[in-house]
Amino acid sequence: QVQLVESGGGVVQPGRSLRLSCAASGFTFSSYGMHWVRQAPGKGLEWVAVIWYDGSNKYYADSVKGRFTISRDNSKNTLYLQMNSLRAEDTAVYYCARDEEMATIDISGFDYWGQGTLVTVSS
Amino acid sequence: SYELTQPPSVSVSPGQTARITCSGDALPKQYAYWYQQKPGQAPVLVIYKDSERPSGIPERFSGSSSGTTVTLTISGVQAEDEADYYCQSADSSGTWPLGVFGGGTKLTVL
């Protein structure tokens, strides 16, 4: 069965960095685009970033562009999110999610989600 | 920036039909997706490509599209359907594609 397991969250001071990981199993990881989606406490869902199945393209929400970097290692079935220059408003649960279309070069929906990892940015 | 608009809340009695709308200018050209999220849990996809239902999702969940509005319909609402519901689509109007979510609708089962 498809499993996505995030890790790497924690408490970090403003301006510092953190790297999240998402370990995938139960499907051919290299055939699917992958996303990060976040949810601030008590708020709605916010799309953060996407990486194409082959890593050829990456796109970001305006709120994180220039600070966050999405990447993947298809040999390790793992998705990453490098978060730099963190701000208080980046505090959220971060989910990785699989694009529901195989080998797409567009953004579809998200058919599988991890359980999320909490990032708290606070001094 | 592109926005999807949902009502903040919808209330229905058990056994009634709940309809949750989502409006966006690009919805005639882009598919919409719906997610259910219960407290402390990750979202679950309940409708994809406007009206398709993933395996394992009860038949009482259905989706439809008309112009710039998509609608999630839950027929014969049950207490377990109480949750937050989010629509999602893609914004391909710019230089690169972006994901976009509606603000969410809290469904209360009275």
Q: For residue range B23-70, what is the model confidence (pLDDT) as tens digits?
A: 999 898 999 999 999 999 999 999 999 999 999 999 999 999 999 999
Per-residue pLDDT at B94 exceeds 90? no
Cross-chain Cβ contact A62/B103 below 8 Å: no
Strands (E), B1-110: 9-12, 18-23, 33-37, 44-47, 61-66, 69-74, 83-91, 98-101, 105-109
Which pLDDT score, from 0 to 100, does residue B96 have? 83
Which pLDDT score, from 0 to 100, does residue B2 have? 85
pLDDT grade, residue B17 (50/70/90)? very high
Cross-chain Cβ contact B35/A46 below 8 Å: no
Are A116 and A95 a contacting pair, CB within 8 Å? yes
Q: Which residues of chain A are within 8 Å of residue B54 when distances are taken between CB atoms?
A: 111
Whole-number average pLDDT of chain A: 96
**Residue A27 contacts B where some CB pair is shorter than 8 Å:** no
d(CA A98, CA A57): 15
Which pLDDT score, from 0 to 100, does residue B43 have? 98
User: How many residue pairs bridge chain A and chain B with CB atoms within 8 Å of each other?
Assistant: 69
d(CA B6, CA B24): 9
d(CA A69, CA B101): 21
> What mean pLDDT do residues A56-64 have?
95
Residue with token string 């990453």: A80
Q: pLDDT by residue (tens digit) across B60-74?
A: 999 999 999 999 999
Cross-chain Cβ contact A44/B88 below 8 Å: no
Cross-chain Cβ contact B99/A116 below 8 Å: no
For testing contact with chain B, the best of A5, A108, A112 (most B CBs within 10 A): A108
Per-residue pLDDT at A40 exceeds 90? yes
Look at residues B94, B8, B4 and name the one whose alpha carbon lies nearest to residue A61. Answer: B94
Which pLDDT score, from 0 to 100, does residue B93 have? 84
**Residue B48 contacts A where some CB pair is shorter than 8 Å:** yes
> What mean pLDDT do residues A50-72 have?
96
Which pLDDT score, from 0 to 100, does residue A90 have? 98
